[in-house]
């Protein structure tokens, strides 16, 4: 399994980039969507949220009132931590299940896990590649206000609830500069997909070769298989150059 962690600050353009990667053939798993699934009515997470925040965060039909909860957690870090303590373990478990399902038919498929809080919550350890979609803070605020109709103070609060650009760029293998035109973002994304597909095919090929060698050494154990660790975890970061915009290490 070759998994790419795709991250970026709010309104950086992760959705745009991951939709293009999916069009090119990647499996796309969206943490924001999983975070909605795990709080659907009847889930243990929604019950825990209602216990912690009260019924005022529920709509009359029993579903989560996202605006009401957002207003609380984006202005109170303790409340946000409590919410994350409920949602993140459920999202983590569901994401791992979805990643396995996505590669059952084709182990060489690129899996893109689109996760806004990679730096803050998920860490880089399980990913073969970390891609950061990057646009400056001011550009993102402007997008939230003009394209999403958000109040500027709200936009700033959401940005301030996240890691800084520097923290995200520090863990990037590849950076997509999304501060220009949409076409420029898409062209970078196409070039990135070509590289990712090559890396995924190489990893799947190496895993298949290793499994065949294991089987030849111990023919009685037909189930022997090696777990191939993330490519990334085999490469110490310290002696690697910082990624240049758009391009990346291979």
Would you tell me which residues interact with ligand COD (CB under 6 A)?
10, 31-32, 35, 66, 69-70, 73, 80, 83-84, 87, 91, 116-117, 158, 161-162
**62 C-beta neighbours (distance < 10 Å), count:** 12
Beta bridge partners of 161: none
Among 6, 11, 64, 86, binds ligand ATP (CB under 6 A): 11
Stretch binding ligand ATP (CB under 6 A), from 11-19, 79-87, 99-107, 189-197: 11-19
CA dihedral for 105, 108, 109, 113, sign (positive or negative): positive
Contact between 190 and ligand ATP per CB under 6 A: no
Contact between 185 and ligand ATP per CB under 6 A: yes
92: left (phi over 0), alpha (psi -120 to 50) or beta: alpha
Q: How far is the CB of 194 from ligand COD (least distance, A)?
A: 27
CA distance 1 to 3: 6
Q: How far is the CB of 148 from ligand ATP (least distance, A)?
A: 8
Residue 16 annotated as binding site = yes
Where does residue 85 rank: exposed (0-12), middle (13-18), buried (19+ CB within 10 A)?
A: exposed
Residue 13 annotated as binding site = yes
Partner interacting with residue 83 (select from ligand ATP, ligand COD, none; CB below 5-8 Å by kind): ligand COD
Contact between 230 and ligand ATP per CB under 6 A: no
Partner interacting with residue 13 (select from ligand ATP, ligand COD, none; CB below 5-8 Å by kind): ligand ATP
Exposure b/e, 124-159, CB count within 10 A at least 16 = b: bebbbbbbbbbbebebbbebbbeeeebeeebbbbbb
Partner interacting with residue 84 (select from ligand COD, ligand ATP, none; CB below 5-8 Å by kind): ligand COD
Q: How far is the CB of 35 from ligand COD (least distance, A)?
A: 4
Residue 204 annotated as binding site = no
Partner interacting with residue 101 (select from ligand ATP, ligand COD, none; CB below 5-8 Å by kind): none
Contact between 122 and ligand ATP per CB under 6 A: no
Give the CA dihedral 161, 164, 165, 169, nearest 10 degrees.
-120
Q: CA angle, corner 151, sides to 146 and 153, nearest 5?
A: 125
Helix or strand holding residue 206 (H, E) = helix 182-217
Strands (E) located in the chain = 2-7, 27-30, 110-114, 129-134, 174-177
Among 116, 230, 243, 248, binds ligand ATP (CB under 6 A): 116
Task: Write out the residues near ligand ATP by the rule CB under 6 A.
Answer: 8, 10-16, 32, 116, 143, 147, 178, 180-182, 184-185
Residues tagged in the binding site annotation = 11-16
């Amino acid at each position: 399994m070759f998994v790419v962690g795709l991250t970026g600050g709010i309104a950086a353009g992760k959705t745009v980039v991951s939709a293009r990667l999916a069009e090119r053939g990647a499996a796309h798993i969206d943490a924001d969507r999983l975070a909605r699934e795990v709080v659907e009515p009847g889930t243990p997470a929604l019950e825990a949220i209602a216990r912690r925040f009260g019924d005022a965060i529920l709509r009359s039909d029993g579903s989560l009132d996202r605006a009401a909860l957002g207003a609380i957690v984006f202005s109170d870090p303790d409340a946000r931590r409590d919410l994350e303590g409920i949602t993140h373990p459920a999202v983590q478990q569901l994401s791992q299940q979805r990643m396995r399902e996505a590669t059952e038919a084709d182990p060489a498929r690129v899996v893109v896990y689109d996760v806004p809080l990679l730096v803050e919550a998920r860490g880089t350890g399980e990913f073969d590649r970390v891609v950061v979609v990057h646009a400056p803070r001011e550009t993102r605020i402007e997008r939230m206000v003009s394209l999403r109709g958000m109040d500027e103070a709200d936009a700033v609060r959401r940005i301030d609830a996240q890691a800084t650009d520097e923290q995200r760029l520090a863990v990037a293998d590849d950076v997509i500069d999304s501060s220009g035109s949409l076409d420029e973002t898409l062209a970078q994304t196409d070039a990135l997909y070509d590289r990712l597909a090559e890396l995924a095919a190489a990893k799947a090929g190496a895993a298949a070769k290793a499994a065949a060698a294991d089987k030849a050494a111990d023919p009685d154990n037909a189930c022997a298989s090696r777990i191939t660790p993330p490519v990334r975890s085999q490469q110490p970061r310290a002696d690697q150059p910082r990624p240049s915009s758009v391009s990346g290490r291979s």
